[in-house]
Every structure is written in structure tokens, then in C-alpha cells.
């Protein structure tokens, strides 16, 4: 710590940690997109400096289609995966479970297996260059049908791709309504086949979405989950089952879920005994990185070194990394102090 009791960004960079809630679609680099657009003869929606300044959700979704549309070759997808690992290394993040949602990747519709192979090639090349290892969480979109969800799971089960660690579901629950019952069968099949489950809930849905994630989708981990705090019984359920939340402070603030960190519930949840980790969600789009997120939460609630280590330990334990990676990270963490 510095003499005024605050920690430097560098000490959070040095903190051994994993990231468990981050979307590959939220990690596109403007410079890369500009190059691809030029090569394809496709116009930029706006200049590079303002490429990630969005005018509402529709504008953001349009950008996502445009960016994923440019990632239309195996090499570009692999380059995106490799760039993601470089970003992890720059943040001092030593392992990540990254979410991709195949519905966004228009050039790869009907070719999800090839998309996964292309991503895998980029992650494997990164690991050879001693960049951090990554597991893939393949995500359903909340607006998909029950049959589409089951089809994806059946494919994942047949492929048993070694890079794929989990089934995920994301998308706007406020727009899609209650979808736990719709996806219950797909998640049941995923669990039966040994796939882990991570579920976006308790952000665009309230605490009832968190309960559905636990009870209907047998979530091993919940992405966001912060609105669980609105119902003591849901908080108790998370504590009793030991289900970790992948919390993204800047993302919640940017969507105005909370006006400031003063009212952000991460500390209330942590003190209630819920396992919480700190994550970026969409770092490129939000202009953030993992050390900055730790700094934000830690400064807001005056976290001691011991609490920071506890949160980082949760990120490691909650990840779907293999036992060797977890053991290495846990032992490195013991030596950290700010
Ligand atoms: Zn997310």
C-alpha cells in the first residue's frame, strides 16, 4: 500500500487472479477492426477514436454485428482469440473462462464447430507463447427457443471439444421475459454430459432470475447476480449452495443499475457470505481492465489485503480451470501483498 492507504494499479496487476465473466465480443480492438474494415472495403460506422462510443443499446448491437461480421476468416478469429490472451497478460490475469455467443457471429452461422476450432487455434498459439490459458463458455441467447438450445447442447456433447468448459446463457432478460423454464431441459442435458453451467441473471432480471438460474438451470456460477441482494431468501440460497457470482462493477455502473459504488451491493453480498469475484464483462467496450475493477471495488469499500486475496481466491476457485492451474494460482496468491 502507499502511505495514504491506497494501492497502486500495479499491485492489482501483480495480484494472481482469474477472470470468469468476460465476453470475447466485448474485447475487439478498434485498431484491428479498422484494419479489417479497410481490407474488406467496408466503411467504419464512425472514426476509430469514437468507434466504441455507443448511442444506446440498438447502436451497440449494430456495432456487434458489424465487428463479428468482419471476423469472417479462421485467421481473424484466431487473431481475436490470441489478442484476448495478450490482454489477459497485460492485466496480470493468469487464467480466464471467456464467453462467446455464436448467434452474434453471422459469418459462422451453421459452422459453430469451425468457429470453436478457429478460436482454439488462437488460444493454443497464445499458450505456446506463454500467454495465459483460457477455457471457452459457449453461450445461448435468451431469445432463442428451447429447441435451438437443445440442438446446441447436443452438438457440444457430441463434439466434446477440449477447449469448451461450459454452457452459458446471456442476453437481455428484461426483453426476453422469464426464460428459466424454457432452457431447463438444455441445461439438464448439459449437466448430465458433464458440462459446467454459467448463467447471466440478477442484472436485467431481479432476484427471481437468480433463483431460476440455481433451481432450474443448476448454475455452477452466476454472471452478475448482484440483484440477488434484493431478496434475503435468494442471498441465503447462494450462501447455502456456495454458488459464486462473477460481478462486474463498471458494467453495472455504466448500465446505471447503481448510481455509484456507494450503493453497489458487492460488499453487502460478500459480507453476507456470498462468494464474489471481480470481472470486466466487456473491457474494450467499457474502457476498463481487471486491475482497474479491483481498484474500484477495493477503494470503495476499503478492502484489506486479506479481503482482496479472498476475492481473488474466489475467482480462481470459481473458474473452470483444471486442477493444476488452480493449484499454481492459489499458491502464487499466498505470496501477494500490496
Ligand atoms: Zn456479461
pLDDT for the residue 191: 97
Model pLDDT, residue 5:
56
**Rounded distance from Cα 3 to ligand 1 centre (Å):** 36
Gap from CA of 276 to ligand 1 centroid (Å): 15
Residue 126 CA to ligand 1 centre (angstroms): 23
CA of 304 to the centre of ligand 1 (A): 27
Residue 1 pLDDT: 64
Distance 137 CA to ligand 1 centre (A): 12
pLDDT of residue 247: 98
Å from CA of 23 to ligand 1 middle: 6
Q: Using the mean position of ligand 1's atoms as its centre, give its distance from the Cα of residue 197 in Å.
A: 14
Ligand 1 centroid distance, CA of 127 (Å):
24
**Helix or strand or coil: residue 22?**
strand
How many Å lie between the centroid of ligand 1 and the Cα of residue 96?
14
How far apart are the CA of 170 and the centre of ligand 1, in A?
7
Q: What per-residue string of b and e applies to 69-86 under the rule 16 or more CB within 10 Å gives b?
A: ebbeebebbbbbbbbbbe
- Ligand 1 centroid–CA 26 distance in Å is 9
**66-92 pLDDT tens trace:** 999 999 999 999 999 999 999 999 999
CA 293 to ligand 1 centroid distance, Å = 14
d(CA 246, ligand 1 centre) in Å: 9
Domains in the chain: boundaries: 9-324
For 238-305, the three-class secondary structure string (H helix, E strand, C coil) is HHHHCCCEEECHHHHHHCCCCCCHHHCCHHHHHHCCCCEEECCECHHHHCCCHHHHHHHHHHHHCCCH
How far is ligand 1, taken at its centre, from the CA of residue 189, in Å? 23
* Cα dihedral across residues 252, 258, 260, 263: positive or negative: negative
Question: Exposure string (b/e) for 233-267, b if CB count within 10 Å is 16 or more?
Answer: ebbebbeeeebbbbbbbbbbbeeebeeebeebbbb
Distance in Å, CA 58 to ligand 1 centroid: 17
Q: How far is the CA of 284 from the centre of ligand 1 (A)?
A: 13
> What pLDDT, on a 0 to 100 scale, did the predictor assign at position 91?
98
Report the alpha-carbon distance of residue 250 to residue 158 in Å, rounded. Answer: 37
The CA distance from 315 to 21, in Å, is 10
Å from CA of 114 to ligand 1 middle:
24
Predicted confidence pLDDT, tens digits, the chain (338 residues): 665 556 788 999 999 999 999 999 999 999 999 999 999 999 999 999 999 988 877 788 889 889 999 999 999 999 999 999 999 999 999 999 999 999 999 999 999 999 999 999 999 999 999 999 999 999 999 999 999 999 999 999 999 999 999 999 998 888 888 899 999 999 999 999 999 999 999 999 999 999 999 999 999 999 999 999 999 999 999 999 999 999 999 999 998 999 999 999 999 999 999 999 999 999 998 999 999 999 999 999 999 999 999 999 999 999 999 999 999 999 999 999 87
* CATH no. for 9-324: 3.20.20.140
CA 164–ligand 1 middle distance (angstroms): 18
Per-residue cell: 214: 440455481
Find the 2 Cα to ligand 1 centroid distance in Å: 33
pLDDT tens-place string over residues 42-65: 999 999 999 998 887 778 888 988
Q: Rounded to the nearest whole angstrom, what is the distance from the C-alpha of residue 37 to the centroid of ligand 1?
A: 26
Q: Tell me the CA–centroid distance for residue 146 and ligand 1, in Å.
A: 21
**pLDDT at res. 7:** 79
- 200 Cα–ligand 1 center, Å: 7
Amino acid at each position: 500500500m502507499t502511505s495514504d492507504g491506497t494501492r497502486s494499479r500495479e499491485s492489482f496487476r501483480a495480484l494472481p487472479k482469474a477472470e470468469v465473466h468476460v465476453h470475447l465480443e466485448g474485447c475487439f480492438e478498434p485498431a484491428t477492426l479498422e484494419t479489417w474494415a479497410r481490407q474488406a472495403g467496408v466503411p467504419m460506422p464512425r472514426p476509430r477514436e469514437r468507434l466504441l462510443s455507443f448511442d444506446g443499446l440498438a447502436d451497440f448491437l449494430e456495432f456487434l454485428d458489424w465487428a463479428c461480421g468482419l471476423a469472417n476468416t479462421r485467421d481473424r478469429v484466431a487473431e481475436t482469440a490470441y489478442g484476448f490472451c495478450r490482454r489477459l497478460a497485460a492485466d496480470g490475469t493468469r487464467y480466464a473462462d471467456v464467453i462467446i455467443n455464436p448467434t452474434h457471429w453471422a459469418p459462422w452461422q451453421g459452422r459453430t464447430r469451425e468457429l470453436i476450432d478457429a478460436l482454439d487455434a488462437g488460444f493454443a498459439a497464445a499458450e505456446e507463447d506463454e500467454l495465459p490459458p483460457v477455457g471457452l463458455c459457449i453461450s445461448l441467447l435468451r431469445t432463442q427457443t428451447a429447441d435451438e438450445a437443445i440442438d446446441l447442447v447436443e452438438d457440444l456433447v457430441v463434439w466434446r471439444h477440449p477447449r469448451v468448459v461450459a454452457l452459458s446463457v446471456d442476453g437481455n432478460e428484461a426483453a426476453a421475459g422469464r426464460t428459466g423454464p424454457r432452457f431447463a431441459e438444455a441445461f439438464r442435458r448439459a449437466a448430465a454430459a458433464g458440462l459446467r453451467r454459467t448463467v447471466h441473471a440478477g442484472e436485467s432480471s431481479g432476484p427471481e432470475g437468480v433463483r431460476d438460474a440455481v433451481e432450474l438451470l443448476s448454475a455452477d456460477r452466476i454472471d452478475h447476480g448482484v440483484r440477488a441482494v434484493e431478496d434475503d431468501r435468494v442471498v441465503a440460497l447462494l450462501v447455502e449452495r456456495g454458488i459464486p457470482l462473477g460481478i462486474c462493477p463498471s458494467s453495472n455502473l455504466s448500465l446505471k443499475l447503481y448510481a455509484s459504488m456507494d450503493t453497489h451491493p458487492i460488499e453487502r453480498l460478500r459480507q453476507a457470505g456470498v462468494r464474489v469475484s471481480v470481472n470486466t464483462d466487456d473491457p474494450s467496450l467499457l474502457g476498463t481492465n481487471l486491475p482497474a475493477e479491483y481498484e474500484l471495488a477495493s477503494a470503495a469499500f476499503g478492502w484489506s489485503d486479506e479481503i482482496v486475496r479472498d476475492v481473488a481466491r474466489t475467482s480462481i476457485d470459481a473458474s473452470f480451470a483444471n486442477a493444476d492451474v488452480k493449484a499454481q494460482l492459489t499458491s502464487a496468491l499466498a505470496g501477494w501483498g500490496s
